[in-house]
């Protein structure tokens, strides 16, 4: 019997980036949930307990760094890996990556192969197509 597909929550306010990320993920063995802002992303995480969260850093209202800090203080969600998505070349906020609560970092625009490898690595599986 095949394993249940992993669920990935994508929190991204740019519609084009969102569609691209979702399309790539759905080529593989993943289900997706989407949110266009941090507050909706936190709510969806609390409702669905995804296996992984992809969090844009620059979001309307609350940014992805604060949203991740909130997720990591919630006892029921803190185990979920959160990977930062950013158009910036690095995550440089004066803190090491682990201290921000992020498990990894992916730059946009995404490179499909390395994107899927990063996702798979955080989910303990093999990459999709």
Looking up tokens 């910036």, which residue turns up?
Answer: 88
CB-based burial of residue 31 (10 Å sphere; 0-12 exposed, 13-18 middle, 19+ buried)? middle
Tens-level pLDDT at each residue, the chain (129 residues):
567 889 999 999 999 999 999 999 998 889 999 999 999 999 999 999 999 999 999 999 999 999 999 999 999 999 999 999 987 655 554 444 556 788 888 888 888 888 999 999 998 765 554
Angle 66-70-76 from CA coordinates, rounded to 5°: 155
Q: What is the pLDDT of residue 86?
A: 83
Looking up tokens 């498990």, which residue turns up?
Answer: 103
Q: Report the residue count for the chain.
A: 129
Which one, of 49, 54, 98, lies nearest residue 75 by Cα? 49
Ordered by where they begin, the domains of the chain are 6-122 (3.40.50.2300)
Q: Angle of helix 15-27 relative to helix 112-123, nearest 10 degrees?
A: 70
Angle 11-17-21 from CA coordinates, rounded to 5°: 75
């Amino acid at each position: 019997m095949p394993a249940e597909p992993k669920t990935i929550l994508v929190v991204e306010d740019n519609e084009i980036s969102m569609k691209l990320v979702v399309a790539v993920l759905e080529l593989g063995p993943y289900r997706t949930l989407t949110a266009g802002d941090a507050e909706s992303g936190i709510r969806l995480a609390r409702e669905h307990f995804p296996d992984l969260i992809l969090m844009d850093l620059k979001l309307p209202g609350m940014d992805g760094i604060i949203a991740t800090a909130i997720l990591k203080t919630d006892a029921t969600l803190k185990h979920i890996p959160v990977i930062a998505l950013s158009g910036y070349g690095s995550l440089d906020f004066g803190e090491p990556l682990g201290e921000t609560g992020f498990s990894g970092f992916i730059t946009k625009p995404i490179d499909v192969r390395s994107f899927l490898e990063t996702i798979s690595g955080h989910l303990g599986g093999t990459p999709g197509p």
